[in-house]
């Protein structure tokens, strides 16, 4: 399988996870999202990375089993973080295939490697994995 195919499948998994956040039980959490929510998500990831990876890499049936043991709020953040992880993987795989082609000079490869490292930060799905528009930046 090509890296672009892996990337497409990873993005599809993330999209399906993000759609799960539209369930009625998560509406209170979606309503409270703010610009700061991205930082809250990052903190949640640091504390729960093993669970998040399990959810991101499991079949839908296994995802349901893992998530059903959590509180509604934990499920919300776990699903969002797993979606974010899959979007990051998708961006990385696409960037590797696009930029890391053998045969260039090693100095050029430094720049290409940097493009790969920054790929996820250029991906809106990774930056905001929630199924609602990102709130405007707060001034002040």
Instruction: Report residues of the chain scoring pLDDT below 70.
Output: 138-140
Phi, psi of 16 (to 5 degrees): -65, -40
pLDDT tens across 87-103, in order? 999 999 999 988 888 88
pLDDT of residue 134: 84
């Amino acid at each position: 399988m090509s890296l672009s195919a892996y990337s497409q499948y990873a993005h599809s998994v993330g999209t399906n996870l993000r759609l799960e956040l539209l369930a009625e039980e998560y509406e209170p959490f979606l309503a409270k999202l703010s610009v700061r929510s991205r930082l809250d998500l990052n903190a949640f990831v640091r504390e729960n990375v093993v669970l998040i990876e399990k959810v991101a890499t499991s079949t839908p049936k296994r995802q349901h089993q893992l998530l059903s043991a959590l509180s509604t709020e934990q499920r919300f953040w776990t699903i969002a973080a797993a979606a974010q992880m899959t979007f990051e993987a998708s961006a990385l795989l696409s960037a590797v295939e696009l930029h890391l082609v053998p045969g260039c000079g090693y100095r050029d490869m430094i720049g290409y490697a940097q493009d790969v490292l920054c790929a996820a930060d250029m991906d809106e799905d990774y930056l905001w994995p929630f199924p609602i528009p990102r709130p405007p930046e707060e001034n002040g």
